[in-house]
Amino acid sequence: MVRAVTDVVGTVAAAAGVFAGTNIDDLLVLTVLFLAARSAGRPRPWQIWVGQYAGIGALVAIAGAAALGLTLLPDRWVGLLGLIPLALGVRGLLAAFRATGDGPPVVASGLVSVAAVTIANGSDNIAVYTPVFRTIGLVDSLLTIAVFAVLTAVWCVVGSWLGGHRSVVAALGRFGHWLVPLVFVVIGLVILSGLL
């Protein structure tokens, strides 16, 4: 019983880490969207919430389908998928070294455009979620998806709160370029460690 609880806690903690690592950039996007909602009235807050859930849901579905396709690979090779988030992280760090300014502003005016921004911003999510879903099994994958659903709401609440503070948006814009790639490197190394 204690081991089962420990396994669940470990899965929840890992899912939270994966979500946070792959969605730091979404937090910045959500913050800017909520800031736009306050200042310009578009998109509306409910459109941001529903669009974010639709986008994350699409990314999870794509990653789940890809993970099912990976069942054709022998288990001993699955750990090599950790090279994908590792490469994304290294590429992101190199881009952060070369960057001269903040990224382009986010333009979204309604539910569909919010979902589209989330999906367009989610290639990293798919790259990380696919090997995770492939390696943890069905029950842990379902638990992970439940954690993602809860954390999407948390992200929306935090984004809404941060959207009331322009200085926070500026700080996230400055440090998000470094934080996201570093998290990807860590996730990639954790997945690769399964090969040892």
CA 94 to each of CA 16, 25, 88: distance values in angstroms, whole numbers, following the listed order = 26, 17, 10
pTM > 0.85: no
User: Which of 38, 176, 53 has its CA nearest to residue 114?
Assistant: 53
Select the highest-mean-pLDDT range: 1-10, 27-36, 181-190. 27-36
Gap between the Cα atoms of 162 and 34, Å rounded: 8
Give per-residue pLDDT as tens, 50-71.
Answer: 999 999 999 899 888 888 876 5
Q: How many helices (H) and strands (E) does the chain have?
A: 7, 0
Here the tokens at position 174 are 């400055």
* Structure confidence at residue 152 (pLDDT): 95
Confidence check: pLDDT of 175 > 90: no
Mean pLDDT for 167-193 is 66
Residue 43: the pLDDT is 84
137: left (phi over 0), alpha (psi -120 to 50) or beta: left
What's the pLDDT score for residue 189?
77
For the ranges 35-44, 126-135, 151-160, the maximum mean pLDDT occurs at 151-160
Among residues 36, 175, 17, the alpha carbon closest in space to that of 103 is found at 175
> Is residue 105 predicted with pLDDT exceeding 60?
no
In sequence order, the 6+-apart residues with CB closer than 8 A to the CB of 55 are 114, 115, 116, 117, 118, 119, 122
